[in-house]
Structure 1
Amino acid sequence: MIPKLDDYKSKWQLESTDMIKPGLEAITNALKLLDHPEKKLQVVHIAGTNGKGSTLTFLEQIARLHGLSVGKFMSPCIVDVHDQIQINGQPISEQELDAIFKVMKKAGLHNRLTDFELLTCVAFLQFARKKVDLVLLEAGMGGREDSTNVIVPIVSIIPSIALEHTKFLGNTIESIAAHKAGIIKIDTPVVIGRLPEDALTIIQKEASEKNAPLRIIGEHFEIEASLEGDSYSNHEKGITISQLERKLPGRHQGDNMALAITAFFEVADHFQLTVETQKLRDGVRAARLPGRFEQVWPNIYFDGAHNPASAQKLVDTLQAEFPNNNIRFVIGMLADKDVATVLSIFETISDEFYFVDFSNERAMEAENMIGISKAAKKCILNKKISDFTHCEGITVVTGSLYLLTELRGRQEFL
């Protein structure tokens, strides 16, 4: 469920379903009724298991500092439906969303789409109406059959591939990679992160078949960390950019930053812009993203680690940032995720867990999570999260971005 979306659907009597229905037929027909707003946009398309939001955030800041107006469509929301569609960092307003729902109602979209497809149409209409220079478009699930995959981008980005949404995407790395590879378009460059070998093979095959230039981290470009800041090197362009000081911690965020810089070179070529080193540095430094190792109180962090790959990255970051601190987790997860593996990863650095019930139909009950956990100290959360500021050590609230969204709106938890 997307908070507040139902309010607009009810107001305009424009129904859609919250079911997941992969495929492009419905969205294609809907966009035809809307006079194809997606064809008026210049897009960067991103799909992957983890790292999408962070990569787009780095890219957004860099692009804006180079003078481009930037529309961004991301999921899930931070607070409610409005912040999923932003222009230059500002969420779509109630008045703008009302105006777009009026257009969609008149076009006859009632009962034609899923919620995510409907929201994709909203994003395309908003960005076309506002005539933004650049759209950063995040796939909702997979790629090939995701409703966002109706555009031809300037560049595609695939930060990572791991097991996820196996009910829809298949239960092997190869099958999931085949879905992600679907965002690669003919003669269109694609920038990729550190992928498993089986996934890399699939991506390389798709890129070859579509004559899509491939830029691979560690081969065509790389990132090196130092005390003075990260150093980015692009071997094709023969350049090195040092003193990149990012506020998003962790090695994986260094990779995401490098992907964004590499993609921006493609964007700059498209718009015939000169890439300015200091603006790259300033953009990297300005990048922030709620729910990605986000400090909400002095010793309390929110992080939406929801699968084994992101859980391990969170553990690595905690060990690097707080090597001598006690760690405790406040956690709620969706039942269709690999809960047992995620918990086992967190249990390598902590033996103290507080489980949370939250109002998502896919959420696993906190009592069930306690049964899965092997931690010595485990219970259902019975205090406000802010109360942990009085406890020794670091508290990490994690497990699902949907959990973090709900917590922000419920004062009895904060």
Structure 2
Amino acid sequence: MIPKLDHYKKKWDVHSDVSIKPGLTAITEALKLVGNPQDKLSVIHVAGTNGKGSTITFIEHICQAHGLSTATFMSPCIEDVHDQIKLNEQPITPAEMDEVFHIMADAGLDDKLTDFELLTVAAFLAFERFAPDIAIIECGMGGRFDSTNVVMPIVSVVPSIALEHTNFLGTTIESIAMHKSGIIKEGKPVVTGALPVEAMTVFTTEAEKLRSALLVCNEDFNVLEENATETYIAEDIRIISLIRTMPGLHQRSNMALAITAFNIVAQEKGININVEALRNGVEDAQLAARFEQLAPQLYVDGAHNPASAKSLVETIHEKFPNEPIHFIVGMLGDKNVQGVLEELEKVGTTFAFVDVANERAIAAKDLSEISKAENKSTTYDILTTVKERMLLNEVIIMTGSLYLLAKWRKKLKETLK
């Protein structure tokens, strides 16, 4: 369920299916009916398990620092459907959403698509009207059969691969990689993080088959720490004195991917890279709900699988060594709940488990039963729990599901400011 999408569906009498149906036939036919807006865009296409949002944010800010307009389509939402479609970082307005729904209603898209497919068409129509210099599109799930995989990108980017959505994408790294590598297009370069060996084999084979250049972090480009700053190094470029605002060593790789992707775009579009602008873009890049500080001692992070939970734990070790950590955790039941909890329990002092307002959620009491933490509880009054823990001078981190953060992020920010 995408918050506030139903408002527009009812208003414009455009119905869609709430289920997930991977495949490109329906979206392709629907886009033809609205004039194939995706073909008029200069696109960077991003897939992967973790790091997509951060990498997109780095790219977005580097582009804007060079005077380029941007549009982004990302999933899931942080607050509601509007923030999934952004024009120069600003969520699409209700008036702009009405315009594209009007077009879709007139084109006869009623009952032809799933919710995510409908939103994908809406994003492409909004981007066509806005005419950005660069559109950065995130896959909703997988890649090969994801509804966004109708674009012809300048470059494809895949930050990481781990097990996820196994009921749709398969239960092995190879099968996940098969889906993700489906965003590679013939003759178009692909930039990846340091993927598992099994995944890299799939990507190498796919890239060779499609005659696409494959650029891999730590092999074809890298970022090193030098004099309390970072230095990006590739065959044709070296950029010193980079300063990230986004914390965590895993963001170093995401930054490197973004710089590499932008370098490819700059070459394609005849843009001169301004090193100072690039530095400013990197430093300005911040992403909501990715180790985001809402108040003193209070952070939110959308870690929802073991790999992202591991990155969160590494960031905690980096920023808060030997400090008591209180986790507030709510999760969806179709995630690797035990794997996430095992990571968080490595640093968590106390845990409060909460319900998430989503039909796929696992109940707080069931989370507590799965957890092996010694000091744990369930709570239905998150605000009181946060205030009590702040009085104990603990670092408080809410995590586990972006749906949980979507409900509480704004409320906590306003209440505790």
- Verify same fold: TM over 0.5: yes
2:351 is paired with a residue whose SS is: strand
Q: State the Cα deviation string for residues 96-119 of structure 1 (Å, max 9, x = none).
A: 101111110010000111111000
Q: Residues of 2 paired with 1:201 and 1:284: CA distance?
A: 31
Q: Residues of 2 paired with 1:7 and 1:391: CA distance?
A: 42
Comparing 373-382 and 327-336, the one that deviates more: 373-382
User: 1:194 Cα deviation (Å)?
Assistant: 1.2
CA contact (8 A) 1:42 1:153 kept: yes
Partner of 1:389: 390
Partner of 2:116: 116
CA contact (8 A) 1:297 1:386 kept: no
Letter in 1 for 2:351: F
Partner of 1:401: 402
- Is 1:380 the equivalent of 2:378? yes
Letter in 1 for 2:390: T
Q: Residues of 2 paired with 1:92 and 1:59: CA distance?
A: 19
Which portions of structure 1, spanning 4 or more consecutive aligned residues, are displaced by more than 6 angstroms?
411-414
CA contact (8 A) 2:17 2:115 kept: yes
Partner of 1:138: 138
2:282 is paired with a residue whose SS is: helix
Letter in 2 for 1:380: T
CA contact (8 A) 1:144 1:180 kept: yes
Comparing 298-307 and 403-412, the one that deviates more: 403-412
Q: Residues of 1 paired with 2:20 and 2:411: CA distance?
A: 27
1:225 is paired with a residue whose SS is: strand
Partner of 1:274: 272
* Unaligned segments of structure 2, at least 5 residues: none
Partner of 2:306: 308
Matches within 5 A, 1:234-249: 234-235=234-235, 237=236, 239-249=237-247
2:207 is paired with a residue whose SS is: helix
Q: Residues of 2 paired with 1:273 and 1:14: CA distance?
A: 41
Partner of 2:289: 291
User: 1:386 Cα deviation (Å)?
Assistant: 4.1
Letter in 2 for 1:154: I
CA contact (8 A) 1:26 1:112 kept: yes
User: 1:358 Cα deviation (Å)?
Assistant: 1.7
Q: How many residues align?
A: 412
Q: Residues of 2 paired with 1:369 and 1:327: CA distance?
A: 18
Q: Residues of 2 paired with 1:195 and 1:39: CA distance?
A: 30
Comparing 391-400 and 113-122, the one that deviates more: 391-400
Q: Residues of 2 paired with 1:327 and 1:224: CA distance?
A: 30
Partner of 1:213: 213
Q: Residues of 2 paired with 1:266 and 1:350: CA distance?
A: 41
Letter in 2 for 1:362: R
Q: Residues of 2 paired with 1:391 and 1:147: CA distance?
A: 47
CA contact (8 A) 1:383 1:413 kept: no
Q: Residues of 2 paired with 1:225 and 1:17: CA distance?
A: 48
Matches within 5 A, 1:6-405: 6-235=6-235, 237=236, 239-381=237-379, 382-384=381-383, 386-387=386-387, 388-405=389-406
Q: Residues of 2 paired with 1:408 and 1:292: CA distance?
A: 12
User: 1:324 Cα deviation (Å)?
Assistant: 2.1
Q: Residues of 1 paired with 2:239 and 2:164: CA distance?
A: 34
User: 1:347 Cα deviation (Å)?
Assistant: 0.7
Comparing 242-251 and 44-53, the one that deviates more: 242-251
1:58 is paired with a residue whose SS is: helix
CA contact (8 A) 1:16 1:110 kept: yes
2:16 is paired with a residue whose SS is: coil
Q: Residues of 1 paired with 2:415 and 2:164: CA distance?
A: 29
Q: Residues of 1 paired with 2:181 and 2:382: CA distance?
A: 44
Q: Residues of 1 paired with 2:100 and 2:348: CA distance?
A: 47
User: 1:351 Cα deviation (Å)?
Assistant: 3.6
Could you tell me the TM-score, scaled by structure 1's length? 0.97
Comparing 6-15 and 158-167, the one that deviates more: 6-15
Letter in 2 for 1:224: L
Q: CA RMSD in A?
A: 1.3
Q: Are the structure 2 counterparts of residues 383 and 190 from structure 1 closer, same or farther at C-alpha, using a change threshold of 3 Å? A: closer
Q: State the Cα deviation string for residues 15-65 of structure 1 (Å, max 9, x = none).
A: 111111000000000001011001111100000000000000000000111
User: 1:409 Cα deviation (Å)?
Assistant: 5.4
2:9 is paired with a residue whose SS is: helix
Q: Are the structure 2 counterparts of residues 210 and 330 from structure 1 closer, same or farther at C-alpha, using a change threshold of 3 Å? A: same
Letter in 2 for 1:349: V
Letter in 1 for 2:45: H
User: 1:408 Cα deviation (Å)?
Assistant: 2.9
Letter in 2 for 1:144: R
Identity %: 52
